Amino acid sequence: MRKQNSIFQTGFLSEAGSELENNDYFACVELDNYACYVVADGLNSQQDAKSARIATQSVILAFQEKPSLRKRAIRSYLKAADKALCQYDSRERLKASVMVIVTDYEKMRYGWAGNTRLRMYRDGQAREQSQDMSLGRDETKDKNLPEDVLAKHEERNNLYGYAGQGKGFSPCLSKKIALEKGDILAVYTRGIWENLDSGELDDVFSEAKEEPSECLDNVEDLLLSRQPENLENYTLAAIFVNKVFQDPERKRKQKKRMIFTAVVLVVLLCISLGVWLFRRWRQKQEEELEQRFSNMIEYIQDANFVRAGEECKEAQKKAEKLRKKKELQGLSDYQKLIEVITGAEEAFDQGDYEEAQEAYVTARQRSRYADRIADAYIEKRLDLITDYQSVFDYIQLGDMLTASGDYDRAEEKYLYARKLATGVYFEEGRQDALDALDALYEMRDKAEEADTKEAKEKASNETGAASLASEGDKAFAQGDYEGAKAYYAMALEKYRQLGDQAHGELIQTKIEASGQKSEENKGKEQQAEDYLAAGKAQEEAGERLEAKKQYLLAKNLFRELKKDEKVAEVNGQIELLEAALEQEKEKEGEKESEEKEQNPVQEAEQEREENPGREAKPGREEEQEREKNPGKEMVQKKEGPGITGPGV
């Protein structure tokens, strides 16, 4: 129906000129829905004038197999011509310049390879023209020379694209052009444009009527009137568009397209709105999650663990909604820490200091997985519990000294217990110390009345033994466990001479503890050396973060052992390592920065996986506390038997 309802008149002329044979070729085929027009200019010698015909036939055959206006289709037509010329059995490779025009009687598109030209006229004016694929064209364009200069340029036939090129063949394609009634398409070869300039062609076609033959005759007369010495083959095809196909379904199709476009726009708008709302909701949830987390941290820092627990639960709900597994795991570690500390606080408030101490030690272990945010508070509470227990221990020790008749030293212990209780605002312990002092003074008054030489001698011996035990306690507190063992051994000998079995058992316990601590220190020193060696090995292997971790472990152990020289040595290693890490961070950028800022929770989990038996052992912080206060480790509660603490 398209061809029947449109009028396309085609005419052409093609002559050999001054040559023996005509190696130009024109062909066209007009189907019901599409039409194809092909002009080819053979680039081979006149003895083998087949290239233009083969190229034209290949294009027409490819078009008939699959007619289309798409760029891919027209490119395939030209590539079919290129392939046919490359595969043709000839003495030399066949080559041709080809121009292809395809139309659906409403629109047209053209493609070309070489220097066969096309000009489209509308209302007497040239509206469209092709560009030669030649070195001459590029040079005239670079130098901004007039177009007609190209007709005499020495590089006008030096082509970088043509049919028969083979590898690297890449034709040029135009955009889709809408046709109008009265349009004229002129396609011509070298014999025309080398002898007639574009202005002369424009004059001929600007006066054209509805028949192409008159224009063709005028162009040929003009060409021959020039009488060129060497006239190339010349071909000119003119296609007059006297009527363009009008699609009767256009309005209905336009309406359908408009409806479809509107529906697509509405759907896209709804999707965009939904995406925007979802992203806005998610952003709001993430902001609330961040705010809850920040509140939780602030409450933990303020030691308000009840409110911190509430904020942590709310943050966990937000993380579950957002499906943030990493944040959810971190919040879970914080929740466990808060629960343990809350239980410890309850036990502390009820006066069950042993249970509270155990809970705080557990919390200290949990704090490793929560960025150690509560370490300072936990240590403070453990120190406070230690002070409370020390008050009871000193009162108990004073009771023992009172029972043995050493009233002066008993008074010293009671006074120290009162001072310690007052310093930590422990009212219960302070009152117990005052009551113990009152009882001491009453007993001392009675004992002074019945004092005898034997009692004084015995008290002197007990005082000596207690003094030796006290010196042992001091040495123990200073970490001199071998010296402590020596003092305890002398004190034990004196208590055995006095027949004081209770004190003797207590001193024996301290001797064993000193020996155990001495062995532990040796083990810690060896472990610190192992960490230091492992850190150096990791550093040499390029694992600087792991090396820093090993150095820090070694540094902590040397600090516990009061090895200042070793601590200084490890600090030097860490400073060098941190400098190297800083340089590496600057080189590797954001990705390495994220790895360096690795969540301490993951580091702790890695440490626990590498040392699965470590958690079953007493916490290192507890061992440090026992090393700082060796006398406190063996002190029993006020109602327990025996004599404990320094100064016995």
Instruction: Using pLDDT thresholds of 50, 70 and 90, give the confidence band for residue 40.
Output: very high
How high is the mean pLDDT of the chain? 82
Q: Which residues contact 457 (CB under 8 A, 6 or more apart)?
A: none
**Percentage of the chain exceeding pLDDT 90:** 26
For 514-531, letters b (16+ CB in 10 Å) and e give beebbeebeebbeebeeb
The phi and psi torsions of 157 (rounded to 5 degrees) equal -105, 10
Q: Does residue 322 have a pLDDT over 70?
A: yes
Residue pLDDT, tens place only, 535-588: 888 878 877 778 888 888 888 877 877 777 878 888 887 888 788 777 777 776
Kindly state the DSSP code that residue 210 receives in the 8-state scheme.
S
Instruction: Using pLDDT thresholds of 50, 70 and 90, give the confidence band for residue 596.
Output: low
Instruction: Using pLDDT thresholds of 50, 70 and 90, give the confidence band for residue 627.
Output: very low
Q: Does residue 613 have a pLDDT over 60?
A: no
Residue pLDDT, tens place only, 141-185: 888 887 777 878 888 888 999 999 989 999 999 999 999 999 999
How many other C-beta atoms can be found within 10 angstroms of the C-beta atom of residue 625? 18
Q: Does residue 106 have a pLDDT over 60?
A: yes
Mean pLDDT of 494-503: 77
Rounded Cα–Cα distance for residues 61 and 83 (Å): 13
Half-sphere exposure of 435 (CA within 13 A, CB side): 9
C-alpha angle 627/629/635, rounded to 5°? 115
pTM above 0.75, yes or no: no
**Which token pair is 410?**
């008993």
Q: Bigger pLDDT: 132 or 646?
A: 132
Tell me what pLDDT residue 423 has. Answer: 82
Amino acid sitting at position 190: R
The DSSP code sequence of 52-118 is: HHHHHHHHHHHHHHS---SHHHHHHHHHHHHHHHHHS--SS---EEEEEEEE-SSEEEEEEESS-EE
Q: Does residue 465 have a pLDDT over 80?
A: no
Is the four-CA dihedral 320, 322, 323, 329 of positive or negative sign? negative
Q: Does residue 325 have a pLDDT over 90?
A: no
Mean pLDDT of 431-439: 83
Tell me what pLDDT residue 606 has. Answer: 58
The answer to whether 462 touches 468, Cβ cutoff 8 Å, is no
**Which token pair is 143?**
């130098």
Rounded Cα–Cα distance for residues 361 and 344 (Å): 9
Tell me what pLDDT residue 628 has. Answer: 47
**Which token pair is 455?**
């009692």
Name the pairing type of β-strands 184-188 and 234-243: antiparallel
315-323: Cβ within 8 A, 24+ apart: 315/289, 318/285, 318/286, 318/288, 318/289, 318/292, 319/289, 321/285, 322/282, 322/285, 322/286, 322/289
Tell me what pLDDT residue 593 has. Answer: 53
Segment among 209-223, 241-255, 468-482 with least mean pLDDT = 468-482
Tell me what pLDDT residue 612 has. Answer: 53
Tell me what pLDDT residue 643 has. Answer: 31
Residue pLDDT, tens place only, 274-284: 999 888 888 88
Q: Does residue 347 have a pLDDT over 90?
A: no
376-383: Cβ within 8 A, 24+ apart: 377/300, 377/303, 377/341, 378/341, 379/621, 381/344, 381/348, 381/356, 382/357, 382/625
The DSSP code sequence of 138-160 is: HHHHHTT--GGGGGG-TTTT-BS
Query: Residue 269 in 3-state DSSP?
Result: helix
Tell me what pLDDT residue 457 has. Answer: 66
Mean pLDDT of 439-465: 70
**Which token pair is 158?**
């030096």
**Percentage of the chain exceeding pLDDT 70:** 87
